[in-house]
Amino acid sequence: MSLLQTRAVSKAFGGVQALDGCTLGVERGSLTGLIGPNGSGKTTLFNVMTGYEAVDGCTVTFDGHEITNATPDRVFQLGIGRTFQLTRIFPRLTVLENMHVAAQREGWRSLFGRWSSSREHQRALELLDFVGLTRLQDVPAGNLSYGQKKLLEFAYVLVAEPDVILLDEPAGGVNPTMIHYLTDRIRELNQRGVTFLMVEHNMEFVMGLCDRVVVMNHGEIIAEGEPEAVRSDPKVLEAYLGA
């Protein structure tokens, strides 16, 4: 059974059918790409999976737990981390403080401790180093460049050691060197057992990195399979050409 599974997820906003019976499984240890034209429902699907958008009459399961309409904090606690298309960091907290916000998985007792002396501090520093932001740890996160913010968001999601990470356009607006760097980081984590589901418009990025690609259009899944097969699927070409 898939690690993360949605069954027949539908979601409408007023007259717009953003999702229309989406059934999607993400296998443990995979690097799955989710692509599709603008407005095809990719972000909405992420929102449903992570508790940011309510649905009815369908199910979302994660590792045997039903998480349909679970709250975002519960979804996170179970081990699903995500980033946002429009990066969401805490602008007035420093980079290091941002890293500590996500480290909330240790029971309520840890609340009374100083965040800077906890066990997670070491981990936070390691991860900052991992994404190359060590130098900026005391800078308010709002001052980072666009790409740096993406890296920070990626890093603080990692603090909690999630089993699955959903990335919404990790490469959007990021320069080629940084994309390269990001690709390496994702591969490295995947080798350590982290499962990825990522939305991305940069085809080179998706085709180079993912082992499976799912294509959405008008809220439906129209194709899925290996990158090569999807690339040459006429339905996909049609969707992208807007026919």
Partner 1 sequence: MKALRPLGLLALLALAVLFPLLFPNPAVDTVAVLTVLFATAVTAWNTFSGYSGYISIGHAAFFGIGSYAVAILCQDWHVPGGYLPFLLLPLAGLIAVAFAIPMGWIALRTRKHTFVILTIAMFFIMQLMAFNLRSVTNGSRGMSLPIPVSWSGAFYDLPFYYVGLALLLVAVALSWWIRNSKYGLGLLAIRDDEDRARGLGVRTGAFKLTAFVLAAFFFGMVGGLHAYFVESIFPAFAFDPLIDLMVALMAFLGGLGTISGPLLGAVILVPAQQFFTIWFNKPGFYLMIYGAMFLAIILLLPQGIVPALRGRFTKAETLAGPVRSGDDGDVAAAVAWAGDVGDGERGGGA
Which residues would be at the binding site for ligand ATP (CB under 6 A)? 13, 16, 18, 36, 38-44, 85
* Exposed / middle / buried, residue 77 (Cβ in 10 Å: 0-12, 13-18, 19+): middle
> Which does residue 39 touch among partner 1, ligand ATP, Mg ion, none (CB within 5 to 8 A, set by kind)?
ligand ATP
Closer to ligand ATP by Cβ: residue 3 or 35:
35
> Which does residue 139 touch among ligand ATP, Mg ion, partner 1, none (CB within 5 to 8 A, set by kind)?
partner 1
Q: Of 70, 55, 66, 51, which is closest to residue 22 (Cα–Cα)?
A: 55
Residue with tokens 């929102």, as numbered in its chain:
47
Restricted to residues 73-112, the positions that interact with Mg ion (CB under 5 A) are 85
Closer to ligand ATP by Cβ: residue 84 or 128:
84
Smallest separation (angstroms) from ligand ATP to the CB of 236: 14
> Which does residue 38 touch among ligand ATP, partner 1, Mg ion, none (CB within 5 to 8 A, set by kind)?
ligand ATP
Smallest separation (angstroms) from partner 1 to the CB of 32: 20
- Rounded to whole angstroms, the Cα distance separating 74 from 239 reads 35
Count residues near Mg ion (CB under 5 A).
Answer: 2
Q: What is the largest CA-CA distance in the chain?
A: 58
What mask of x and - would describe binding to Mg ion in positions 23 to 62, judged by CB under 5 A?
--------------------x-------------------
Phi–psi pair at 69, nearest 5 degrees: 55, 20
- Rounded to whole angstroms, the Cα distance separating 133 from 88 reads 17
What mask of x and - would describe binding to partner 1 in positions 58 to 97, judged by CB under 8 A?
-------------xxx-xxx----x-x---xxxxxxx--x
Q: Of 27, 24, 34, 30, which is closest to residue 3 (Cα–Cα)?
A: 27
Work out the angle at residue 33's Cα, subtended by the Cα atoms of residues 27 and 37, and round it to the nearest 5 degrees. 140
Please pick, from the candidates 156, 164, 182, 223, the single residue that binds partner 1 as defined by CB under 8 A.
156
Sequence length of the chain is 243
> Which does residue 16 touch among ligand ATP, Mg ion, partner 1, none (CB within 5 to 8 A, set by kind)?
ligand ATP
Across-strand partners of 7?
59
HEC string of 39-51 equals CCCHHHHHHHHCC
Q: Tell me, what amino acid is at 149?
A: K
Q: Give the interface with partner 1 as residue ranges (CB under 8 A).
A: 50-52, 71-73, 75-77, 82, 84, 88-94, 97, 100-105, 110-116, 118, 135-136, 138-140, 142-143, 145, 156-157, 160
Q: Which residues bind Mg ion (CB under 5 A)?
A: 43, 85
